[in-house]
Chain A
């Protein structure tokens, strides 16, 4: 059987993300959980912010879906994308269920209005979401490489670490139940890169996009960690007027 064209690239991207996965700002959260400083309030903040981030994937994938054409990639690539959209939606539902079950919010409407569940433009989360959405005009394997072999590998790393350290069994179950899906997304990314990325310029695009996704996801994790632990924000997202002459 012929060697898959993107096999080495997929390994390279995964390896780089894996190295970063246990050096994220979430390590502070894991340490807090180990020291018994992760209580109800911290749990509420964490699940609220993660719910907000999951909601944004409807927006991101909506843009990506518009960039797919009939016959541009094998049907399996599109099936895997559909599967990933479904899984992301499931995880959004799991987070909202948790907010309701724990009594942190009474209704879905209240969750949308609460500061922990509210989406604000001036945030690292928005930066990350817009950054991913911007990949809509890139070839599908490039954006899948960025997300599934970049941010998703990092996400799985901190999530596994946090799950081990969390004292709350309910929250542990929330994260544990997602592991199969998250590992599945990484495997989908690996398969798509292996099969569909063969040309050197596409490989370079994948490296670039993967680096961007990791960087912006890292900014979101810094913001998340600060919010959950009640620290003053390290990253301050600012909007500045764009000057055409710059």
Chain B
């Protein structure tokens, strides 16, 4: 199955203009042991998403838990994914589990 890093799938990134740093995405991702959301090692300690670990669109847990509209976006298109648009979940219907 191709992963995000292969460029075959869209990847996620945090939109720092909208993110409130509530850390729900971090907690949800960590609970699933994906560990794709991490704290950047810079003084602001902002959250980032590692595309090599993120399995989007297979997993959309961060999008489901994020309370701040527009704070997680598709890196390639810049499309807002919070709240998750219906087609995000259609990936399952097209590809099957």
Interface residues in B21-63 (C-beta closer than 8 Å to A): 23, 26, 30-31, 33, 35, 38-43, 45
Per-position 1/0 for A64-98, Cβ under 8 A of B:
00000000000000000000000001100110110
The reply to whether B41 and A94 form a contact with Cβ atoms under 8 Å apart is yes
The reply to whether A173 and B26 form a contact with Cβ atoms under 8 Å apart is no
Contact of A177 among B31, B38, B43 (CB under 8 A): B43
B39 contact set on A, CB distance < 8 A:
90, 93-94, 97
Cα(A94)–Cα(B40), bound, Å: 8
Beyond A93-B26, A93-B39, A94-B39, is A107–B33 a contact (Cβ under 8 Å)? yes
Q: Is A15 an interface residue (CB 8 A)?
A: no
B30 contact set on A, CB distance < 8 A:
96, 108
Q: Is A23 an interface residue (CB 8 A)?
A: no
Cα(A11)–Cα(B17), bound, Å: 39
The number of residues on chain A lying at the interface, defined by a beta carbon within 8 Å of a beta carbon of chain B, is: 20
| Chain A contact surface mostly | helix
A101 nearest CB neighbor, chain B only = B38
A107 nearest CB neighbor, chain B only = B33
Q: Is A179 an interface residue (CB 8 A)?
A: yes
Q: Is A174 an interface residue (CB 8 A)?
A: yes
Cα(A170)–Cα(B39), bound, Å: 13
The reply to whether A174 and B45 form a contact with Cβ atoms under 8 Å apart is no
The reply to whether A173 and B41 form a contact with Cβ atoms under 8 Å apart is yes
Cα(A100)–Cα(B31), bound, Å: 13
The reply to whether B42 and A177 form a contact with Cβ atoms under 8 Å apart is yes
Interface centre among A93, A109, A174 (most CB of B within 10 A): A93
The reply to whether B45 and A94 form a contact with Cβ atoms under 8 Å apart is yes
The reply to whether A97 and B38 form a contact with Cβ atoms under 8 Å apart is yes
Q: What are the 10 closest A-B residue pairs judged by CB atoms, nearest first?
A: A180-B43, A173-B41, A177-B41, A107-B33, A90-B45, A97-B38, A93-B39, A94-B39, A100-B35, A108-B30
Give residues in A with beta carbon < 8 Å to B.
Answer: 89-90, 93-94, 96-97, 100-101, 106-109, 170, 173-174, 176-177, 179-181
Given contacts A97-B39, A109-B33, A181-B43, 7 further A-B contacts (CB under 8 A): A93-B26, A93-B39, A100-B35, A107-B35, A108-B35, A177-B40, A177-B45
